[in-house]
């Protein structure tokens, strides 16, 4: 598992780089974020939740059965919207209310 950062969408705010628990995301000379150590990503999605430009997606590595699907989140108040784009199943949107507890 790792992340993909879309340089064209990145606005260079650096928030992803700030929160990464492995200090794996850096800013390049043009102040665009990139993941310097893709194999070291834990898959926690902290960076994705920070990204207001929706420039970061995470995916499953092929070695753990990844099929090319990717996920990002969009925040709207208490609603965290998870957008999953998968070659097989198309786009799925799952809204999670942060004020609502898990059932299981």
Partner 1 sequence: MNINTQKLQTDILIIGGGTAGCYAALTIYENSPELNVLICEKAHIKRSGCLAAGVNALNAYIVEGRKPQDYVDYARKDADEIVRGDLLLTMSEKLNSVTEKLEKLGLVILKTENGKYVARGNRNLKINGENIKPILADAVGKLPNTKVINRINITDLALKNNKVIGAYGIGIENNIFYVIEAKAVLVATGGAAGLYKPNNPGFSRHKMWYPPFNTGAGFAMGIKAGAEMTTFEMRFIALRCKDTIAPTGTLAQGVGAKQVNSLGEVYEQKYGLTTSERVYGTVSENLAGRGPCYLKTEGITAEQDDSLIKAYLNMAPSQTLKWIESGKMPSQQNVEIEGTEPYIVGGHTASGYWVDTRRRTTVRGLYAAGDVSGGCPQKYVTGALAEGEIAASAIIDDIKNIDLENVDEHEETAYKTEAENFLTEKNTPFTAEQLEEAMQTVMDSYAGGIKTSYRFNEKQLEIADEKIKKLFILSEELYAKDLQELMYIYELRERLIVCRSVIAHLKARKETRWHSFAENLDYPKKSDDFKKYINSKFENGEIKIIYRDLIKEGEDFEHFNR
Q: Which of 4, 11, 52, 61 forms a contact with partner 1 (CB under 8 A)?
A: 61
Query: Could you count the other beta carbons within 10 Å of the beta carbon of residue 78?
Result: 10
Determine if 32 is a binding residue for partner 1 (CB under 8 A): no
Determine if 64 is a binding residue for partner 1 (CB under 8 A): yes
Determine if 83 is a binding residue for partner 1 (CB under 8 A): no
Distance of alpha carbon 21 from alpha carbon 72, whole angstroms: 18
Site residues for partner 1, window 40-59 (CB under 8 A)? 40-46, 58-59
Stretch that binds partner 1, among 5-13, 27-35, 67-75 (CB under 8 A): 67-75
- Terminal Cα-to-Cα distance of the chain (whole angstroms): 25
Q: Cα–Cα distances in Å, from 84 out to 22, 25, 90?
A: 24, 22, 8
Please give the structure tokens belonging to residue 85. 């784009």
Nearest-approach distance from CB 44 to partner 1, in angstroms: 4
Torsion angles phi and psi, residue 56, rounded to 5: -115, 135
Please give the structure tokens belonging to residue 97. 């209310």
Where on the chain is the footprint of partner 1 (CB under 8 A)?
A: 1-2, 18-23, 36, 38-46, 58-69, 71, 80, 82, 84, 86-89, 92, 94, 96, 98-104
């Amino acid at each position: 598992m790792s992340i993909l950062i879309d340089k064209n969408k990145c606005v260079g705010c650096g928030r992803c780089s700030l929160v990464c628990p492995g200090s794996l995301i850096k800013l390049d000379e043009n102040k665009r974020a990139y993941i310097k150590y893709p194999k070291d990503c834990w898959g926690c999605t902290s960076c994705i939740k920070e990204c207001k430009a929706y420039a970061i997606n995470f995916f499953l590595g092929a070695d753990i059965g990844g099929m090319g699907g990717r996920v990002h989140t969009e925040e709207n108040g208490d609603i965290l919207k998870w957008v999953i784009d998968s070659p097989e199943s198309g786009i799925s949107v799952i809204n999670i209310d942060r004020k609502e507890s898990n059932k299981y």
